[in-house]
Amino acid sequence: MISPPRESVGVKRTFNWKENLFAYALLFPSLIFLSLFTFYPTLKSIYNSFLSSGFGQKTFVGFDQYSRVLQDEVFRKVIINNLWLAAATIPTSILLAVYLAVWVNDKMKGNGILRASFFYPTVIPMIAIANIWLFIYTPDYGLIDKFFDMLGLSGPHWLGDPKWVMWAMIIMIIWKEAGFFMIFYLAGLQNLPSEVYEAAKLEGAKPFQVFRKITFPLLMPTTLFVLIVATTNSFKLVDHLYIMTKGGPDNASNLLLYYIYETAFSFWDTGAASVLTVVLLLILLSISIFNYAFLDKRIHY
């Protein structure tokens, strides 16, 4: 995605006082806000994660707080939910996105409308999506149960049953994300060399063979990029929980970031919330490091 700046090789550079000062002056406005709202809070979270915050008094407790929070039953549930959500939504929405992109890619009339109908969930706030899907999942009167009714079936209590609530969320997230990922595949498809396809056609390759042997491998850079966005999103998207389930029933749909929010602003346990924030930071950092260290090198054609 982003290539680091390269020093110009062979050109002997002398230290230019003025240019250095000028460069840092230009970076300064950004650096203020980065320091104040990214670096300082990150360090503050790490520091606070070692302090217990009971009854307004902060005492140093070292790793005790970590073992208290990390051994908690709810923490385990939340992490499993997050992993489960990622495992179920990411491959499905990526496959759906590739499929849709391939079939709405040509300049045919009507494809614009098709693209729009897949992409529009991207521009709707998660909170509005939650309002809409809450009504879709409502027992008896909701859209899905009306449909089940027509078929003579009766659905479970989608959001109230711990067995079903994650499935309900997974379907909604796939609906929200597939069209967004489709856009990146549309961009990827535009860069594919047409000669390869002509050659494949001459060889009499079947359409699915062409996709499996040519299109999909050539789209690998896009897939890896989308994979990173999707993985990060699966930890960031939690707004809907506020409207739909509050993480319930019995934390069956709770996710790490929402759990952080609850811990800090409902239970007012800043120490525990800091430990959880550090865990989330570590997860996000390992996703990016994995990306830059392993994936970025392999995704060139």
Name residues contacting other proteins, limited to 193-222 (CB under 8 A): 207, 222
The C-alpha atoms of residue 49 and residue 69 are separated, in whole angstroms, by 10
Q: Is 29 in the site for other proteins (CB under 8 A)?
A: yes
CB of 136 to other proteins, least distance (A): 6
Q: Is 159 in the site for other proteins (CB under 8 A)?
A: no
Nearest CA among 78, 77, 50 for reference residue 65:
50
The answer to whether 222 and 184 are in contact (CB under 8 A) is yes
Contacts with 118 (C-beta within 8 Å, 6 or more apart), sequence order:
100, 104, 178, 179, 182
* Residue among 135, 167, 216, 294 that touches other proteins (CB under 8 A): 135
The answer to whether 181 and 160 are in contact (CB under 8 A) is no
Kindly identify the residues of this chain, within the stretch 64-83, that bind other proteins according to CB under 8 A.
none
* Residue among 69, 168, 238, 252 that touches other proteins (CB under 8 A): 238
* Residue among 55, 107, 141, 301 that touches other proteins (CB under 8 A): 141
Q: Is 128 in the site for other proteins (CB under 8 A)?
A: yes
The C-alpha atoms of residue 205 and residue 199 are separated, in whole angstroms, by 9
Which range in 37-45, 65-73, 76-84, 212-220 contacts other proteins by CB under 8 A?
A: 37-45
CB of 65 to other proteins, least distance (A): 14
Q: Is 71 helix (H, G, I), strand (E, B) or coil?
A: coil
The C-alpha atoms of residue 241 and residue 78 are separated, in whole angstroms, by 13
> What are the DSSP calls for 243-278, one per residue?
HHTTT-STTTT--HHHHHHHHHHTS--HHHHHHHHH
The residue (of 115 and 165) whose beta carbon lies closer to other proteins is 115
CB of 220 to other proteins, least distance (A): 14
Q: Residue 28 carries which side chain, given as an amino acid letter?
A: F
CB of 280 to other proteins, least distance (A): 5
Contacts with 195 (C-beta within 8 Å, 6 or more apart), sequence order:
none
What would the two tokens of residue 111 be? 């494809």
The C-alpha atoms of residue 126 and residue 121 are separated, in whole angstroms, by 9
Kindly identify the residues of this chain, within the stretch 171-190, that bind other proteins according to CB under 8 A.
175, 179-180, 183-184, 186-187
Report CA Rg, the chain. 24
Binding-site string for other proteins from residue 255 to residue 294, where x marks contact by CB under 8 A and - marks none? --x--xx--xx----x--xx--x--xx--xx-xx------
* Residue among 51, 61, 79, 136 that touches other proteins (CB under 8 A): 136
Q: Is 235 in the site for other proteins (CB under 8 A)?
A: yes
Q: Is 103 in the site for other proteins (CB under 8 A)?
A: yes
Which range in 22-30, 58-66, 80-88, 158-166 contacts other proteins by CB under 8 A?
A: 22-30
